[in-house]
Structure 1
Amino acid sequence: MATTRDTWIGQWIWSDRPALGGPSQAQPYGSLDPSRFDQRVLFRRGFELASVPARATVRITADSRYRLYVNGIDIGVGPVRHGPRQLCFDEYDIRHTLREGGNTVAVLARFYGYPVPWWEPSPPSFTMGGGAMVAEIRLDEEIIATDPSWRFAPGDAWRPGHPPGMLLTQLPENLDARLLEPRWMAPDFDDSSWSYARVLAEYSVVGPRGGTRPPTEPWGILRPRPIPALTGEIRTATVLNSRAAPPSGDDPRAALVSALGGAGGDRALLVADFEMIVSGRLELHFEAARGQVIDGALVEVPTAAALDSAPVFRYVARGSADTYLSADSVGGRYLVLALEDATAPVALRIRELLRPRDPVAPFDSSDPRLDAVYRTGLRTVDLTSHDAYIDCPTREQRSWTGDAVVHQSVDLIANQDWRLARWNPQLAAQPRADGLLPMVVAGDFATTQVPTIPDWSLHWIRSVHNLFRYTGDRELVGGLLSTAEGILRYFEPYRGPAGLVEEVPGWVLIDWSPVQVSGASAALNALLARGLRDFAEMARWVGDHGRATWAAAFHGRLLCGFESFWDPGRRAYRDNLADGRRGTSVSEHVAAAAVCADLVPPERKPEILRLLLDRSAMFTTSPLADHGGDALGPSAGQPVSVRPEPDWDTERSVVGAQPFFRYVVHDAIARLGAADRIAELCLDWDRLRADAPTAFRECWEGGSYCHGWSATPTRDLVCYTLGITPAEPGFTRARIAPRPGVLTAAAGAAPTPYGVVSVEIDGNRVVVDSPVPVEIVDRSGTATPHAAGKFSARF
Structure 2
Amino acid sequence: MTPTPDPSPFPSPTAHFCWYDRERPKPFSAAFFRRAFEISQIPYRLSIIVSADNRYRLWINGIPIGRGPLKGTPSRYYAETYDLAPFLKQGRNVLAAEVRWLGDLGPISEVHTDEPGLYVQGIETEILDTPGKWKVHPDTSLSPNVDDPYKAARGWLGYLDKIDYRVQPTNWQSPEFNDYHWQTTLSVGEVPIRNPWGIDPAHCLVERDIPHLLETPLDFDSILLNRTPTEFPFTILPGESKELWLDAGKLTTGYPNLHFTGGEGRRIDITYAEALGKWQDGRWEKSRPRSDIDSSEPHGYSDSIILDGGQTVFEPFHWRTFWFIKVKVYSGDQAVTLTRADYRFTTYPQDFSARFICAHPQVKKLWDISLRTLQLCAHETYEDCPYFEQLNYVGDTRLQALCSYYLANDTSLAKRCIQLYRHSLQSHGLTASREPCNERQEIPAFSLHWILMLNDYWKWVGPDGRDFVRSNLPAVISVLSYFRDHLNQHGFVGELDNWTWTDWVAGWERGVSPADQGGNGSTYHTALFALALEAATRLIDETESSDDSGQWKALREQLLISIREKTWSSEDLYFLDGPGREEDPFSQHAQAWAILSGAATSEQREALKGRLLDDTELKKMSLFQRFYLCQALDRIGDSSHFFPKTLDPWYQLIHDAFTTWPENEKNTRSDCHAWSSWPVIEFFQSLLGARPAKPGWREIQIAPRYEATRSACGSFPSPVGEISISWECDENGFFRIDAKTPTGIPTYLTLPNGRTNSYPDGGFIELELRPKAQSVEA
Q: 1:392 to 1:309 in 2, by over 3 A?
A: farther
Residue type at the aligned position of 2:213: L
Match of residue 234, structure 1, among 212, 217, 222: 217
- Contact map agreement 1:676 1:721 (CA 8 A) in 2: no
Q: 1:794 to 1:500 in 2, by over 3 A?
A: farther
1:765 aligns with 2:736: yes
Distance 2:376 2:607 in 1: 39
Match of 1:739 in 2: 705
Match of residue 495, structure 2, among 500, 503, 523: 503
Match of residue 434, structure 1, among 428, 438, 441: 428
1:286 aligns with 2:271: no
Distance 1:88 1:172 in 2: 24
Q: CA deviation at 1:8?
A: 4.2
CA deviation map 1:457-485 (0-9, x unaligned) = 22222111110110111112111222222
Q: 1:229 to 1:61 in 2, by over 3 A?
A: same
Q: 1:417 to 1:74 in 2, by over 3 A?
A: same
Match of 1:714 in 2: 680
CA deviation map 1:646-672 (0-9, x unaligned) = xxxxxxx00111111111111111121
TM-score (norm: length of structure 1): 0.84
Match of 1:247 in 2: none
CA deviation map 1:610-642 (0-9, x unaligned) = 332xx2324xxxxxxxxxxxxxxxxxxxxxxxx
Q: 1:310 to 1:435 in 2, by over 3 A?
A: farther
Distance 2:14 2:630 in 1: 52
Stretch deviating more after TM superposition (160-169 or 283-292):
160-169
Match of 2:250 in 1: 276
Q: 1:137 to 1:11 in 2, by over 3 A?
A: closer
- Contact map agreement 1:415 1:751 (CA 8 A) in 2: yes
Distance 2:164 2:23 in 1: 22
Q: CA deviation at 1:306?
A: 7.3
Distance 1:502 1:150 in 2: 59
Residue type at the aligned position of 1:543: E
Match of residue 136, structure 2, among 140, 148, 152: 152
Distance 1:198 1:217 in 2: 20
Residue type at the aligned position of 2:659: T
Match of 2:117 in 1: 132
1:358 aligns with 2:351: yes
Q: 1:790 to 1:471 in 2, by over 3 A?
A: same
Match of 1:533 in 2: 534
Match of 2:234 in 1: none
Residue type at the aligned position of 2:52: A
Residue type at the aligned position of 2:209: P
Match of 1:570 in 2: 572
- Counterparts of 1:359-398 in structure 2 under 5 Å? 359-398=352-391
Q: 1:485 to 1:116 in 2, by over 3 A?
A: farther
CA deviation map 1:124-155 (0-9, x unaligned) = 5xxxx41122123456x675322332111111
Match of 1:474 in 2: 466
Q: CA deviation at 1:289?
A: 0.8
Match of 1:404 in 2: 397
- SS in structure 1 of the partner of residue 303 of structure 2: strand
- SS in structure 2 of the partner of residue 557 of structure 1: helix
Match of residue 298, structure 1, among 263, 272, 287: 272
Q: 1:583 to 1:10 in 2, by over 3 A?
A: farther
Q: 1:118 to 1:68 in 2, by over 3 A?
A: farther
Q: 1:491 to 1:116 in 2, by over 3 A?
A: farther
Q: CA deviation at 1:692?
A: 3.4
Distance 2:34 2:196 in 1: 30
- Contact map agreement 1:404 1:709 (CA 8 A) in 2: yes
1:178 aligns with 2:166: yes
Gaps of 5+ in 1: 21-32, 245-264, 619-652
Match of residue 337, structure 2, among 332, 336, 344: 344
Distance 1:177 1:74 in 2: 20
Q: 1:361 to 1:438 in 2, by over 3 A?
A: closer
Q: CA deviation at 1:175?
A: 0.8
Stretch deviating more after TM superposition (49-58 or 324-333):
49-58
Distance 2:501 2:681 in 1: 23
Match of residue 330, structure 1, among 315, 320, 324: 320
In the comparison of the two structures, how many residue pairs are matched?
707
- Contact map agreement 2:145 2:304 (CA 8 A) in 1: no
Residue type at the aligned position of 2:341: L
1:791 aligns with 2:770: no
Q: 1:511 to 1:468 in 2, by over 3 A?
A: same
Match of 1:688 in 2: 653
Q: CA deviation at 1:367?
A: 1.9
- Contact map agreement 1:679 1:721 (CA 8 A) in 2: no
Distance 2:109 2:665 in 1: 30
Distance 1:684 1:353 in 2: 28
Match of residue 225, structure 1, among 188, 197, 208: 208
Q: CA deviation at 1:317?
A: 0.7
Q: 1:363 to 1:289 in 2, by over 3 A?
A: same
Match of 2:180 in 1: 192
1:493 aligns with 2:457: no
Stretch deviating more after TM superposition (150-159 or 232-241):
232-241
- Contact map agreement 1:518 1:576 (CA 8 A) in 2: no
Distance 1:276 1:10 in 2: 47
Match of 1:518 in 2: 517
Match of 1:12 in 2: 16
Residue type at the aligned position of 1:617: D
1:779 aligns with 2:752: yes
Q: CA deviation at 1:419?
A: 1.4
CA deviation map 1:230-249 (0-9, x unaligned) = 104323222233389xxxxx
- Contact map agreement 1:114 1:121 (CA 8 A) in 2: no
Stretch deviating more after TM superposition (283-292 or 403-412):
283-292
- Counterparts of 1:580-591 in structure 2 under 5 Å? 581-591=581-591
Q: 1:316 to 1:294 in 2, by over 3 A?
A: same
- Contact map agreement 1:136 1:146 (CA 8 A) in 2: yes
Q: CA deviation at 1:200?
A: 2.7
Distance 1:405 1:662 in 2: 14
- Contact map agreement 2:715 2:723 (CA 8 A) in 1: yes
CA deviation map 1:365-399 (0-9, x unaligned) = 12231232122111111110111110111122111
Q: 1:18 to 1:119 in 2, by over 3 A?
A: farther
Distance 2:165 2:570 in 1: 71
Q: 1:424 to 1:692 in 2, by over 3 A?
A: farther
- SS in structure 2 of the partner of residue 337 of structure 1: strand
Residue type at the aligned position of 2:402: S
Distance 2:452 2:57 in 1: 36
Match of residue 44, structure 1, among 34, 37, 45: 34
Q: CA deviation at 1:582?
A: 3.8
- SS in structure 2 of the partner of residue 743 of structure 1: coil
Identity %: 24
Match of 1:616 in 2: 614
Stretch deviating more after TM superposition (716-725 or 280-289):
280-289
- SS in structure 2 of the partner of residue 376 of structure 1: helix
TM-score (norm: length of structure 2): 0.85
Distance 1:738 1:389 in 2: 29
- Contact map agreement 2:49 2:80 (CA 8 A) in 1: yes
- SS in structure 2 of the partner of residue 105 of structure 1: strand
CA deviation map 1:149-176 (0-9, x unaligned) = 2111111110145795664343211111
Distance 1:784 1:117 in 2: 54
Distance 1:284 1:737 in 2: 52
- Contact map agreement 1:115 1:444 (CA 8 A) in 2: no
